[in-house]
Each structure stands twice: as structure tokens, then as C-alpha cells.
């Protein structure tokens, strides 16, 4: 051993503690430093005060017994390798100890000094490998979550993309939910903004549009970017709530300071087509079919429109 092995020995029997210390001293050639305590509570305090490479833990202590000793020490020292060293033989005891968080298991009177030191060294290495593997798995899980988020969200605006919206609508439009509406939002003359000012400005404009959408949307409103300058808002409520959302967005766009900075002297508007969904469960293709039909019909009247065809509700009146 190139460096001293720091061992925390938790053992209430003085004779066993002395024998173990002698075993480690003889086999470790003076490179093993042992700190001995008799109580689990003392061991828990020790790991708070200083670093140890490994713990040798008896399962029958004055203040705790059985696998609870492992769980108790592991709670205060999650990164400390633990080797159980006990007089309790039996495969089931060893199995329970490993399941409780021990890294290895040795039986008093049946383990020689050489084997015990090897167990300590291997427990340290095994524990380090487990921690490294856990770290890799955690990083991989985070990367997978990021990929999942990207697969369901639009990278420019952070809203749901089409795939994410389809997934969200499965629960949002379940039977028993309140009446709902869908509003298709199309930015007026957006192609001209891209052509005249460049796509980088167009992207910033879309981000500001989203901020206005968020300002008018309650927590239950689902917002998605369908593509280009086309957005969909799905909210709970009927005609009144849908129209209120639409007129709020018109006002929000008119006072959006970011848009005013990006488009000085120009007012940004959009057309919005509303369809009431009631309690019917519709897929995204059906919702877009109805809202796009309403949008195409309403745009005949010009820009900056809040259009309602209400084709799914049986009410064909359009909002003013």
C-alpha cells in the first residue's frame, strides 16, 4: 500500500476489536490506521468529523442491531465503503447486508488477515466503481431527459412542438374535463419581416409573440408552435373565455416593448381562428383542420382578426 488505509472499526467487543486491529497491523505492514468506536452513534459522529477509506461494521451493537446498523451509517456516509464484520454466519444474513448497502461481508473467526485486507481494498474499489457508474447513469438520464424535452418542445420558443402537443392533448381532452377551445394564431405579414429584416430578427419577433401569448394564458392553457409563424393555444372554457384570450393577445402585441424595438414604427398583428371543442376528444389533425378552415375564411375580411366559426359547437355565429 502506498498510502495508509484509514479504517473506521465499529465493534463493541474489546477482545474482537483488539484481535482485528492486530490482524490489520500485521497484514497491512503498518500502513493501516484504525479508529475504533463501540457505538453506531459514535461512528456517525466520526464520519462527520473526518475522512475514512472504509468502515468495518459489526451488526450487533449496543445502540443498534442487524441491517439497521448498515442503513444508519450509510445515511450519514453515503460515499463510505462498508464491510460488515460480524459473528453472524449464514448466506441470508450476508445477502440482507449487501441489500442494505454493505459493499462486502466477512465472518469473525472464518476470515484470515490477508483475506480481510483484500476485502477492504476490493470494497473500496467496488464502491468507487459503483459511484462512478451511478454518476454516469445520472448524467445519461439527464441527457436523455434533455433529448426528450427537445423531441417534445420547439427549440426557438420553448413551447410544445407538434409531437409534444399531441402527447399533451391526450390527457388535456380526456372525457370528464371542462369544455375546451382551440385557437390557431397566425402572425400577419411575417414573411415580409423575414425578407426585409432577416431571419434572426424574425426569430426574435416570434419569441416576443410567445411572451405576449404567455401573458394572456392561464396556467392550464397549452401553447404550441405548429410551424413557422403558426401557433396553437388550447384552453379550458367556452366562447367567452376563447374570445377573451384572443382580444387579450391583440392588446398584448400592441404594447409589447420588444416588438416595438424590433419593428420601430410598425404594428405587429395576427389572425386568430377559434374552434370550440366542447368535451369532445379530437386529435390534433382534426383541430387544425377546423381552425385552418376558419382562419382561411376569416382572412377574407382582412388582418388582425379574431375569427370564430364554432363549427363543432353547433353555433355558427362569428365573434365581433
Strand locations in the chain, DSSP E? 5-10, 32-37, 54-57, 60-61, 64-65, 82-86, 104-107, 180-187, 222-227, 230-236, 270-278, 306-308
219/264: higher pLDDT = 264
For residue 247, what pLDDT band results from cuts at 50, 70 and 90? very high
The answer on 210 and 111 residing in a single domain is no
- Domain assignment present for residue 147? The answer is no
Tens digit of each residue's pLDDT (9 = 90 or more) over 26-42: 776 668 889 999 999 99
- Domain assignment present for residue 16? The answer is yes
The answer on 197 and 278 residing in a single domain is yes
Q: Identify the weakest region by mean pLDDT among 14-23, 87-96, 139-148, 199-208.
A: 139-148
For residue 301, what pLDDT band results from cuts at 50, 70 and 90? confident
**Domain-terminating residue out of 101, 136, 171:** 136
**Domain-terminating residue out of 136, 153, 170:** 136
In the chain, what percentage of residues exceed pLDDT 70?
90
- pTM of this prediction? 0.56
- Domain assignment present for residue 287? The answer is yes
For residue 252, what pLDDT band results from cuts at 50, 70 and 90? very high
- Domain assignment present for residue 258? The answer is yes
- Domain assignment present for residue 143? The answer is no
Beta bridge partners of 306: 272
Angle at 314 between CA 313 and CA 315, to 5 degrees: 90
Nearest-angstrom CA–CA distance, 201 and 194: 7
The answer on 80 and 21 residing in a single domain is yes
Structural domains counted in the chain: 2
Nearest-angstrom CA–CA distance, 25 and 34: 9
Q: Identify the weakest region by mean pLDDT among 21-30, 35-44, 308-317.
A: 308-317
C-alpha neighbours within 13 Å on the C-beta side of residue 77:
27
Grid coordinates belonging to 22? 492486530
- Domain assignment present for residue 215? The answer is yes
The answer on 174 and 54 residing in a single domain is no
Nearest-angstrom CA–CA distance, 53 and 119: 13
Instruction: Give me the pLDDT at residue 314, please.
Output: 39
The answer to whether the CB of 208 falls within 8 A of the CB of 256 is: yes
Supply the range of the domain harboring residue 175.
162-308
- Domain assignment present for residue 13? The answer is yes
312/14: higher pLDDT = 14
| CATH, residue 222 | 3.30.70.270
Backbone φ and ψ for 255, nearest 5 degrees, come out as -115, 10
The answer on 212 and 109 residing in a single domain is no
The answer on 242 and 111 residing in a single domain is no
Angle, to 10 degrees, between the axis of helix 113-152 and the axis of helix 162-172? 90
Nearest-angstrom CA–CA distance, 187 and 289: 18
The answer on 225 and 297 residing in a single domain is yes
The answer on 110 and 35 residing in a single domain is yes
**Domain-terminating residue out of 81, 102, 136:** 136
| CATH, residue 35 | 3.40.50.2300
- Domain assignment present for residue 149? The answer is no
Rg (CA), the chain: 34
Grid coordinates belonging to 220? 392550464
The answer on 191 and 245 residing in a single domain is yes
Whether the pLDDT of residue 319 is over 60: the answer is: no
Amino acid at each position: 500500500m502506498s498510502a495508509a488505509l484509514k479504517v473506521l472499526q465499529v465493534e463493541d467487543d474489546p477482545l474482537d476489536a483488539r484481535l482485528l486491529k492486530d490482524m490489520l497491523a500485521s497484514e497491512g505492514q503498518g500502513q493501516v490506521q484504525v479508529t475504533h468506536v463501540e457505538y453506531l452513534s459514535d461512528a456517525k459522529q466520526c464520519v462527520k468529523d473526518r475522512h475514512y477509506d472504509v468502515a468495518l461494521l459489526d451488526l450487533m451493537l449496543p445502540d443498534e442491531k442487524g441491517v439497521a446498523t448498515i442503513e444508519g451509517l450509510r445515511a450519514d456516509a453515503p460515499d463510505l465503503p462498508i464491510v460488515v464484520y460480524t459473528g453472524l454466519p449464514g448466506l441470508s444474513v450476508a445477502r440482507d447486508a449487501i441489500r442494505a448497502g454493505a459493499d462486502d461481508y466477512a465472518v469473525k473467526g472464518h476470515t484470515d488477515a490477508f483475506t480481510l485486507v483484500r476485502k477492504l481494498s476490493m470494497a473500496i474499489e467496488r464502491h468507487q466503481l459503483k459511484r462512478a457508474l451511478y454518476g454516469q447513469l445520472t448524467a445519461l438520464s439527464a441527457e436523455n431527459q434533455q433529448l426528450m424535452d427537445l423531441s417534445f418542445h420547439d427549440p426557438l420558443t420553448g413551447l410544445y412542438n407538434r409531437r409534444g402537443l399531441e402527447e399533451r392533448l391526450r390527457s388535456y381532452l380526456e372525457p370528464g374535463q371542462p369544455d375546451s377551445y382551440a385557437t390557431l394564431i397566425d402572425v400577419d405579414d411575417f414573411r415580409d419581416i423575414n425578407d426585409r429584416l432577416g431571419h434572426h430578427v424574425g426569430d426574435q419577433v416570434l419569441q416576443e409573440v410567445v411572451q405576449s401569448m404567455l401573458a394572456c394564458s392561464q396556467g392550464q392553457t397549452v401553447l404550441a408552435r405548429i410551424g413557422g409563424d403558426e401557433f396553437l393555444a388550447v384552453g379550458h372554457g367556452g366562447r367567452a373565455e376563447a374570445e377573451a384570450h384572443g382580444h387579450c393577445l391583440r392588446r398584448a402585441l400592441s404594447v409589447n416593448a420588444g416588438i416595438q424595438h424590433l419593428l420601430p414604427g410598425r404594428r405587429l398583428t395576427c389572425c386568430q381562428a377559434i374552434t370550440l371543442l366542447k368535451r369532445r376528444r379530437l386529435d390534433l389533425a382534426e383541430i387544425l383542420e377546423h381552425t385552418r378552415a376558419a382562419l382561411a375564411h376569416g382572412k377574407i375580411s382582412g388582418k388582425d382578426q379574431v375569427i370564430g366559426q364554432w363549427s363543432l359547437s353547433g353555433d355558427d355565429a362569428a365573434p365581433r
